[in-house]
Amino acid sequence: MAFVRAPSPFLLVLVLALSISAAITATTTVPQPISDHHRSAALNLFAPSHGSFPSLQDAYEALRVFEILGIEEKHRVSTDTCKVVLENLSSLSSSLKDLFYALKVNGILKCKVNGEVFEGIASRLKASISDASPLPDLYYSIGGLVLIKDQDSNVDVLLADATGTFQSIKAQSQSDGKWRYSSDKTESSAYAAGLAFEALAGVISLASSEIDQSKVNTVKHDILKLFGSIEKNDDGSFYFDGETVGGHEHQDSLSTTSSVVRGVTAFAAAVSGEINQLPGDKTLGLAKFLLGIGVPGDAKDFFNQVESLAFLESKRVTIPLILSLPETVYSLTTKGQLKVRVSTALGSAAPPLVVKLVRAFSSGAKDSSIIESKELQYDKRSGLHVLDGFTNNVDVGTDVFVFEIVLHDSHSKQVYATGGQIHMPIYVTGIIAVSNAEIGVLGDLGSVQTKKALDLAGNDVVSFSANHLQKLRFSFQLATPHGHVFKPHQAILKFRHEIKVEHVFVIGNVGKKFEITLDFLGLVEKLFYLSGKYDIELTVGDAAMENSFIRLLGHVKLDLPEAPEKAAQPPAPPVDPYSRYGPKTEITHLFRTPEKRPPQNLSITFLGLILLPFLGFLIGLLRLGVNLKNFPSSTVPAAFALLFQLSIAAVLLLYVLFWLKLDLFTTLKTLGFLGAFLMFSGHRILSYLASTSTKLKSA
């Protein structure tokens, strides 16, 4: 029976893998700005445990991310976190790092901190700066004073010897723009340079008198030297490589880049004028690197990414503009619009601008343009730049569109970095026409013996017979919506024997035609000399082909020679992986045959003989009479005596139940309870009787 099936899991996995590959390529070339995906991830990564965070640093990083992304979460953590902040600020044993992050958290939550507490902390931080401290201690101390200055203007935080402090930090700089952590360490790093730039910016803001401009210019020169050693990727992104300092302290590329961005932007805000025109392509490249990470799964990486992007957008350096595509796949069937979005790295609106399509070319022919110089129309409602339709030159496949951002006014050109021409891969899909399909059997000399045309869009099938001296030829053509030859990623012909043994053959193309010729004489070993009926199945699939398909072409009956003795045997038929979830075979148990039992009359007679002593005991009691003279007359002893007798009766009843129905474990547990009660009540009544007997003897 002829039939057309939907794509198999194999084809679906193939198409999905190719689509993902194209999406990854596009994302790597032009990263997407911060979106709601980041906000959702932030709520999961920085979720407080019972309203608090493991440390003040974690609290600050979470609150800072919420602040940048506009997530209202302060009310959930403010009360408990403020308690920790006040405890650390009031404690004399708090480390410089804890004080630094406590002040940072307080700057966001606005906890009620007494001015005297600020004064005490300021005195301690100044004393720490006066001592010969390593760079991290100076960073925390100076940063703490800057935070106090911002939170309470009445506290004296100015440095008496700001120039000396500036020089002591500058003394750890190296010729390549990197910094050492302290004078006793020879290793330098870009991460330490970021800390130094931020500390120097703090010294400038805390100086009681202006720092010598020549010293400031020297630091500006150090920044340029540091950016001279920046690493660059092929997609135009820039980053500072991770380093290991002192053989044990490692900072990855993201942490190092974040430290430099934080330090450079802080220094740029503290000094007047730009840092000798730091190139806009460097800031844009840093933004591309940070956005190229995607949505980090680690809280620390997430904080470094988001805060660094916020600093790049703070107008202390040129603000990078990010061009992105809401969709990178364009269908020639639906003929949708090509949409372009331009925003800052954090997703804020861009200034007035125009997006131009400079040119577009096929990935396989870079020198030949398929679109030349078009200006996209701006849609005010959606905030997108739109290209209404493609020209007929755009066909199925991967094309590269070259865009350019043109700012309207000259002031925006000084504030924003656009990056020149931006290459964007566009994946164009469409319905592929399948035609001129033919299948036939050839003789041993290549003469056509049987030939039939196939309509691959229909349901017709064919049936052939062949022997090992003949050949089978199959051919067809594929064309794009604009009539060009289309080469799919996969064109496969599959033979399936009656015993479920499959053979796969890749179909190659000769010019415009896809053709395969199977010489059965050369395939007898691969076919395991199996004669019989083979189903013929065609698979054509590509990520750009909207009508990928798997189709049964028909079957061929092969007459192959007998297999030699040492010929390879066909593999075992594949096992359905879902068969293990089906019903299992019924398990039949063989029980031991019950032993032969005595006759019922004999069993009843034996039971009567067992009961005779008990009957004799009862008769003896009736004949002798029951003596109750020693039974206690007082209420409490009488109650214990009665309980003692009932306990004995309960134990006897338990033995009977064990004989009839109870198992050993239940009996032992119950006997343990009854035995304890029996011993307690028996001890009380026997103690009473012994006491009574002693009194009678003494009387």
Each residue's pLDDT tens digit, 548-579: 999 999 999 999 999 998 889 888 877 777 77
* Torsion of Cα atoms, 25 then 28 then 32 then 37, to 10°: 90
pLDDT band at 5 (very low <50, low <70, confident <90, very high): very low
The span from the CA of 94 to the CA of 101, in Å, is 11
Range in 94-103, 162-171, 258-267, 621-630 with the lowest mean pLDDT:
621-630
Tens digit of each residue's pLDDT (9 = 90 or more) over 118-130: 999 999 999 999 8
Residue 477 makes CB contacts below 8 A (sequence gap 6+) with 434, 435, 436, 437, 485, 512, 513, 514
Strands 462-467 and 549-559: what pairing? parallel
> How large is the average pLDDT for residues 386-402?
88
**Is 29-160+167-317's fold the same as 433-573's?**
no
Backbone angles phi, psi at 409, to 5 degrees: -115, 160
Q: Classify domain 29-160+167-317 at the CATH class level.
A: mainly alpha
Question: Model-level pTM?
Answer: 0.72
182 in Cβ contact with 192 (< 8 Å): no
Q: In 10 A of CB 678, how many CB atoms?
A: 18
Backbone angles phi, psi at 372, to 5 degrees: -125, 130
Tens digit of each residue's pLDDT (9 = 90 or more) over 128-150: 998 767 899 999 999 999 999 99
Distances (CA, A) of 565 to 341, 469, 520, 569, 571: 69, 21, 20, 10, 16
Which listed CATH number (3.40.50.1000, 3.40.1440.10, 2.60.40.10, 3.40.50.300) goes with 321-429? 2.60.40.10
Domain ranges (residues) in the chain? 29-160+167-317, 321-429, 433-573, 632-698
**Computed from CA positions of residues 85, 89, 90, 91, in that sequence, does the dihedral angle turn out positive or negative?**
positive
The span from the CA of 533 to the CA of 500, in Å, is 11
The span from the CA of 460 to the CA of 580, in Å, is 36
Q: Classify domain 433-573 at the CATH class level.
A: mainly beta
Tens digit of each residue's pLDDT (9 = 90 or more) over 42-74: 999 998 877 678 899 999 999 999 999 998 876
389 in Cβ contact with 369 (< 8 Å): no
Element (H, E) at 343: strand 338-344
The span from the CA of 57 to the CA of 560, in Å, is 76
Angle between helices 56-69 and 96-109 (to 10 degrees): 30
> Which pLDDT score, from 0 to 100, does residue 364 have?
79
The span from the CA of 102 to the CA of 121, in Å, is 11
